[in-house]
Structure 1
Amino acid sequence: MEFSTIWLFVIATTALLIMPGPAVFYIMARSIDQGKKAGLVSVLGVSLGGAVHVLAGAIGVSAILMTSATAFTIVKYLGAIYLIYLGCKTLLSASGENHSENPKMNDKKLWKIFYESVIVEVMNPKTALFFLAFFPQFITPASGSVPVQFLLLGTIFIILAFINDSLYAILAANIRKWIVRKKGHSKVMNRVTGYLYIILGIFSAFASPSKT
């Protein structure tokens, strides 16, 4: 691929990433609910989920998913149900739970946050749809293997998204610190994160393969 094409892709991707999407709101919800460490672990999970979509797009699996209304519907509802489940679980959690930043968060809890984040991203068919709609605009068959170009653009996208998402995770962690200083912060954080998950779940449920 020509350097000018890659540079144009970087500029376009950066402009798109600045506007927060479902993944960013999910990561911010994690940071507000469980702190910066949990938010950054969520970023890693979402990045791995994005890598799965990139690989699937490169080998054509995503294209099959997008052409099958049944497959798309199954995946989007599974993802939506999972997000709504996380939201309800958060809203029902004990309001008296200690939400202070916990630097000693154990590996088991971090691992759970990680794989939940991977599931949330993998089960989001809008990500696959976005990659299939956006990447081909910068791919030229004459420049070489299309799958290789797709993987290259996907790698660049994931790196930029990782940086962007990490900044949002840190921002949300700072918002958490502000909330913690307020009276009744546990209830506030439970409600904010719980409703964010539910809203994301509803948004996912109404995702359409005909829209980007």
Structure 2
Amino acid sequence: MDWNTISYFILASVLLTITPGPDFMFVFAQSVSHGKRAGFATGLGLCTGLIGHTLAAAIGISAIIYQSSVAFTVIKVVGAVYLLYLAVQAFRENAQPEQQTVKRYTLMALYRKGILMNILNPKVSIFFLAFLPQFVHVGNGSVPAQMILLGVLFIIQALLIFALLSFSAGTIGEKLWNNPVILKWINRMKGLVFAFFSIRLLFEQK
């Protein structure tokens, strides 16, 4: 692939990644609530989930999901329910400062949540199916290989942005941990964000 195509793709990918959406807000919320490491673990999980969507787009599974209303609806409903579950968890989080320390098992749990959140969002599969082919040229060789390469580039830039977001949001969060009232409202806002994206996903059309 030529460097112009790759440059345009990376620029478009960065602009899409920094646009506030479920992934961006998820990393931001976990970083503020639990610190930089928690935010990065969340972002790493989300990017791991993108590997599945990249492979799905490359071998055509995303097209099958798009064509099948039943498959799309089932995945969409499961994803919406999972986001609602995260919203309930956020509302129930204890806002005591001493409980904001993230342990190793918590980081793994956030990593798994990130994977599930991305895998259970059919809109991501459809997005990859629509976005990646715009930068693919048949004359450049294997189409699946080009899509996988573009997917890898997208994942790398997303991980870098999530790392920066985790550091900045985590730094802000650390300054707020000594105020239980503020932490309580942060958890409530996090719950509202997840609930909003759950409802939005539930009413999404293909």
Q: TM-score range by the shorter chain?
A: over 0.9
Find the aligned partners of 1:145 and 1:70 in 2 and give their Cα distance. Answer: 31
Find the aligned partners of 1:146 and 1:78 in 2 and give their Cα distance. Answer: 31
Find the aligned partners of 2:65 and 2:158 in 1 and give their Cα distance. Answer: 23
Kindly state the Cα deviation for residue 92 of structure 1 after the two structures are TM-superposed: 2.2
Instruction: Quote the residue 2:80 is aligned against.
Output: 80
Contact 2:18–2:24 (CA<8 Å) still a contact in 1? Answer: no
Q: Which stretch of the first structure deviates more once superposed, 127-136 or 173-182? A: 173-182
Kindly state the Cα deviation for residue 96 of structure 1 after the two structures are TM-superposed: 4.1
Instruction: Quote the residue 2:18 is aligned against.
Output: 18
Find the aligned partners of 1:63 and 1:192 in 2 and give their Cα distance. Answer: 35
The superposition leaves residues 31-64 of structure 1 with CA deviations (integer Å, 9 ceiling, x where unpaired) of 1222111100001100000111001111111111
Contact 1:98–1:186 (CA<8 Å) still a contact in 2? Answer: no
Q: Find the residue that maps to 2:98 and give its secondary structure.
A: coil
Kindly tell me: are residues 181 and 88 of structure 1, through their superposed partners in 2, closer, same or farther at Cα, counting changes over 3 Å?
same
In structure 2, stretches of 5+ residues that fail to align are: none
CA-based RMSD of the aligned residues comes to: 1.7
Kindly tell me: are residues 109 and 21 of structure 1, through their superposed partners in 2, closer, same or farther at Cα, counting changes over 3 Å?
same
Q: TM-score, normalised by structure 1?
A: 0.90
Contact 1:76–1:125 (CA<8 Å) still a contact in 2? Answer: yes
Q: Which stretch of the first structure deviates more once superposed, 105-114 or 81-90? A: 105-114
Q: Which stretch of the first structure deviates more once superposed, 106-115 or 43-52? A: 106-115
Instruction: Quote the residue 1:5 is aligned against.
Output: 5
Aligned positions, number: 206
Kindly state the Cα deviation for residue 66 of structure 1 after the two structures are TM-superposed: 1.1
Q: How does 1:41-190 map to 2 (within 5 A)?
A: 41-96=41-96, 98-100=98-100, 102=101, 105-182=102-179, 184-190=181-187
Find the aligned partners of 1:173 and 1:24 in 2 and give their Cα distance. Answer: 14
Q: Find the residue that maps to 1:98 and give its secondary structure.
A: helix
Contact 2:96–2:180 (CA<8 Å) still a contact in 1? Answer: no
Q: Find the residue that maps to 1:84 and give its secondary structure.
A: helix
Q: Which stretch of the first structure deviates more once superposed, 154-163 or 25-34? A: 25-34
Kindly state the Cα deviation for residue 200 of structure 1 after the two structures are TM-superposed: 1.9
Identity of aligned residues (%): 35
The superposition leaves residues 107-127 of structure 1 with CA deviations (integer Å, 9 ceiling, x where unpaired) of 222111111110001111111
Q: Which stretch of the first structure deviates more once superposed, 9-18 or 43-52? A: 9-18
Q: TM-score, normalised by structure 2?
A: 0.92
